[in-house]
Structure 1
Amino acid sequence: MKALQYRNIGQAPEVVEIDTPEPGPGQVRLKVTAAGVCHSDEYIMSLPESEYVYGLPLTLGHEGAGIVDKIGEGVKYIEEGQSMAVYGPWGCGLCYECSSGRENYCRNAGTYGITPPGLGAPGSMAEYMIVDSARHLVPLGDLDPVRNVSLTDAGLTPYHGIKGSLEKLHSGATAVVIGVGGLGHVAIQILRALTSATVVALDIDEAKLNLASDVGAQYTFPSEAGAATMVSDLTNGLGVDAVFDFVANQATLDLGQGMVRHQGDHVLLGAGAGNLKMGLVSGAAWDVSVRSPYWGSRSELFEVLDLARSGNIRVHTEVFSLDDAPSAYEKLKNNQLLGRAVIVP
């Protein structure tokens, strides 16, 4: 079968021919119908050899959907031919967090070497993929896999982050989304669907700001010097109730901290890193909660897909064939994608 693999440190991924995998006991094989391209993939492929821990060759793709094609021994309640989405943050299934459906916070994953598809385990950018357990499959039903596969991360991650701030996003509140990329443009729609807050979007790209308006942001501003002042003016100088940062580099961290109000939420969802000056006399707003959520729970993925069924969220997608998948990553690297790229084998 064909697969897109990262094979050499620092080089572009390649489409190669590999053996079609067979499901072992408890496993399910999917005939892949769609796979999403993510900045996380670009991040791990940019790591130097001394920091790369994901194994080579690595079949990419942690957003996946497919048709159940073959069932391993012992698997129950799954039938061949069902259309499924893959829940990506795999865990042990036995710890307290996993028993609560929060496998994204599995306490044993590191100990047991459990890794998500495309981020250690073979991923979805192939004609077939193995899902390690039936519990990591969520029925898609009549949802189009190509239009909705990205919701397994680009929808689930912002949904999980926003749910943690719902108490503060009451009527009259203001929420800021920094970075209107694959996750950010979905976050705007989730905020509009779940809250009465005014939604403000910031980005450096005019096309992405236009997309933000199209999907429901009431205000858009360039993410540059003076943005914090413009946002502050909207709140009569009080600051915003929640900032959702889908970039999380030093510039956006500083920008978010300059906008959030006392007792607000500063939620870091991007793959970047930086430093925040905190403390009573730091000059930062008081009693701010800074969170860095990871992915989302299995039950939340059901909720995200239900939002899609109701028409409340949609992913702006650009579709590529598996043979053209390397060009999708090239466009991602050059910031030429609007929304999410989806690979269709």
Structure 2
Amino acid sequence: MRAVLFENYEQFPSLTDVPRPRPGPGEVLLRVAGAGACHSDISVYRHFKEGQPGAQKPPFVLGHENSGWVEELGEGVSDRIKVGESCLVYGPIGCGLCRKCVQGVETYCENADSLPYLAVGLGRDGGMAEYVSVPAHHLVPLGDADPIDAAPLSDAGLTPYHAIKATLPHLAGGGRHALVIGLGGLGQIGVQILRALTGATVIATDLKAEAREYAERHGAVTVGGGEHQVEEIREITGGKGVDAAFDFVGAAPTVATAAACLAQGGRLNVVGIAGGTHEFSFFTNPYEAYVTNTYWGSVAELWELVDMYRAGQIRPEVERFSMDDALEAYRKLEAGEIFGRAVVVPHGA
């Protein structure tokens, strides 16, 4: 079968033929409906070096945002999972035995450092292929919802959902404000989730006018960049600042902007991994405001997110690519030419 293969560090992936996987015990083989191309994939093949923390040893098939139709059941898999069923895949794979894993939060596995891979498509063969084998308990049924457009939800949806859900106590009640920095794939879905789950005024900011316009169509109040950005954001809040900020970039300037916009008791959640840092000072930090970070989410939260998708509360903006054009999807992603999420469709749209 054809697949997008990460073959070596600091080397662009290849579109090549690899053996079709066979599901092991407790696994299911999926005929891939859609596989999302993610900036994390670019980090895998472009930036990580051998031995670096987080680096995943090649070769393996990319693709950690996956949906598909059940093709074959491995040994021991319940027949409640039906061949032909449409499912979304939870990506992280933990040890399955620690406290976090038994809670379904495999992304925070306590034994992650000793495992051979982090997730489907991150160290283990992923779904940027015609078929992928995944743990059966990682499947979330999609029903009659479009599986291709659903593919990015497994990361670009789950990551903001987890961050927002953890922050809901800060947004409970009237007169609350939430700030979204960075209106790429995750930020745009984040705006939709905030609008669906809270009554807060959602303020969104990005340098791209097109991205701001799209966020406005989903109910956000937007602010552009520039030297008066913080003042404009605080003015919308009546001067008190935002109760919750979500930085989907994570660079030093965006972290600083988010921190400068916080109200007393606010929460800044850094979701993007661009390497920015935050300097704390007792005299400049709003009282009882804090900075934290989150990574991905739990399988239970993915079930909840799929419920929102099926109800029409969230809708990813997707650009589809055939398998022939899979490498073009990554080239466009690297060049910043993808609006929303790129999804490779191995078996045709």
Distance in structure 2 (CA, Å) of the matches to 1:62 and 1:272: 19
Q: Structure 1 residues 149-158 or 70-79, which shifts more?
A: 70-79
C-alpha deviation, 1:127, in angstroms = 0.3
Contact 1:277/1:284 (<8 A) preserved: no
Conserved 8 A contact 1:64-1:124: yes
Residue 13 of structure 1: how far off its partner (Å): 1.7
Give the ranges of 4+ consecutive aligned residues of structure 1 lying more than 4 Å apart after TM superposition: none
Report the Cα offset of residue 114 of structure 1.
4.1
**Residues paired across the two proteins, number:** 342
Matches of 1:88 and 1:201, distance apart in 2 = 28
Does structure 2 conserve the Cα–Cα contact (< 8 Å) formed by 1:101 and 1:298? Answer: yes
1:97 and 2:100 correspond = yes
Q: Are 1:20 and 2:20 an aligned pair?
A: yes
Which range is displaced more, 179-188 or 21-30? Answer: 21-30
> Once the 2 structures are TM-superposed, how far is the Cα of residue 48 of structure 1 from its aligned partner?
4.5
Question: Partners in 2 of 1:12 and 1:215 — Cα distance?
Answer: 35
For the Cα contact (< 8 Å) 1:40–1:271, is it kept in 2? no
Equivalent-residue separation in structure 1 for 2:62 and 2:117 (angstroms): 16
Superposed CA offset, 1:215-273 (max 9, x none): 221x1111332110100111222111111000000010111111011110100111211
Contact map agreement 1:2 1:16 (CA 8 A) in 2 = yes
Which moved further from structure 2: 296-305 or 91-100?
A: 91-100
| Corresponding residue for residue 198 of structure 1 | 201
- TM-score under structure 2 normalisation? 0.95
Letter aligned with residue 257 of structure 2: L
Superimposed CA distance per residue, residues 266-288 of structure 1 (whole angstroms, 9 cap, x where no aligned partner): 0011121122111423x122211
Q: Does 1:248 align with 2:250?
A: yes
Q: Distance in 1 between matches of 2:21 and 2:312?
A: 36
Distance in 2, matches of 1:130 and 1:110, equals: 23
One-letter amino acid of the counterpart of residue 214, structure 1: R
Q: Are the aligned partners of 2:116 and 2:123 in contact in 1 as well (CA < 8 Å)?
A: no
3-state secondary structure, aligned to 2:245:
strand
- Secondary structure of the structure 2 residue equivalent to 1:40: helix
User: Match of 2:147, as an amino acid?
Assistant: P
* SS in structure 2 at match of 1:126: coil
Alignment-derived partner of residue 241 in structure 2: 239
Task: Please name the residue that 1:156 is paired with.
Answer: 158
Letter in 2 for 1:31: R
Write the mapping of 1:284-299 to structure 2, written as runs, cut at 5 A. Answer: 284-299=285-300
Unaligned runs of 5+ in 1: none
Please tell me whether residue 172 in structure 1 is matched to residue 175 in structure 2: yes
The alpha carbon displacement at 1:47 in A equals 1.4
State the Cα RMSD in Å.
Answer: 1.3
> So what's the TM-score if we normalise by structure 1?
0.96
Letter matched to residue 163 of structure 2:
G
Counterpart in the other structure of 1:186: 189
Tell me, what secondary structure is at the counterpart of 2:123?
Answer: coil
- Matched residues, percent identical? 44
**Structure 2 unmatched runs, 5+:** none
Could you say which residue in structure 2 is the equivalent of 1:322?
A: 323
Q: Distance in 2 between matches of 1:209 and 1:287?
A: 31
1:44: how far off?
Answer: 2.0
